Structure 1
Amino acid sequence: MVYSYQMYGYPSQTVQETIDSLEMVRQMFELGIIQSGFWYQFALTAHSPVGLNPSEYGITPNYKSILFANNDVMFKGKTGLDHEQFSFGLKKSLFNFMHGIGFDMPLQE
């Protein structure tokens, strides 16, 4: 069984790029190239390359006073998108694809 990790919500990712990613995943499931997987939303961490150089990635981080670790830092990207809005649809679509259904449905549904 081939398990795939899909990521979405990169600081510069557009709505169309997210839709295109979902379509590519749909096709790979339909062709039997992958059989299982999960969508992971990009998370900004303070010590990652993006967190260390936020201006190079067009983001403004919202750091909070955290004493132990600064994981999952909230940020605003240049696209202005709230990528969380795609979470349910991406995960539901993947669930359907893993069960062999929904290939003929429009991606908007």
Structure 2
Amino acid sequence: MANDKTSHEIGIDGAILATQVPGNNGTLILSIQQTSALNNWLLKWANYLQNEQTPRNEWLMTTILIKSKSLKIEHKIAGVSPQKIPDSQYQAQGQRVTWVLMAADIQTT
């Protein structure tokens, strides 16, 4: 999550003014092998979104669902778009790349 959900201000009389801060946006960071099928898929997805022929309303249409069966937690991440295509590593051995995905709405249940 990108934002704190509560803000407190202290008044001159010492009273606390608590404010609920709206916004469920955040960031998802993936560190993956640059030679993986997932990296290839993310590259194709990012290039598709950045193509001038792609309708702008598709920019935030991606949703990611992350489930942890052992913890019984589910994250629904909507309005996902890549921050940028990660820098490539040109070395003899495959390296890891870091994808930063921005999300407009993150819900955890």
With normalisation by structure 2, the TM-score equals 0.24
State the structure with more CA Rg.
2
Greater strand share, structure number: 2
With normalisation by structure 1, the TM-score equals 0.24
Greater helix share, structure number: 1
